[in-house]
Amino acid sequence: MATDAGSGGYEIADFADIQGVSCPCGIARRAFADIEDFPGTVHVTEISVNARLHYHKRLTETYFILECGPDAQIELNDDVIPVHPGMCFLIRPGVRHRAIGKMKVLIVVLPKFDPEDEWFD
Tell me the per-residue pLDDT of 23-75, one tens digit each, with 9 for 90 and over: 888 899 999 999 999 999 999 999 987 788 999 999 999 999 999 999 999 99
Length of the chain: 121
Which fold does the domain 20-115 belong to in CATH?
Jelly Rolls (2.60.120)
Average pLDDT of the residues of the chain: 93
- Buried residues in 100-111 as b, exposed as e (16+ CB within 10 A): bbbbebebbbee
Using CA atoms, how far apart are residues 98 and 119, in angstroms rounded to an integer? 12
pLDDT above 70 (res 4): no
What is the reported pLDDT for 48? 80
pTM of the model: 0.91
Distance CA 36, CA 32 (A): 8
Q: What is the pLDDT of residue 2?
A: 61
| Mean pLDDT on 90-103 | 96
- CB of 63 closer than 8 Å to CB of 105: yes
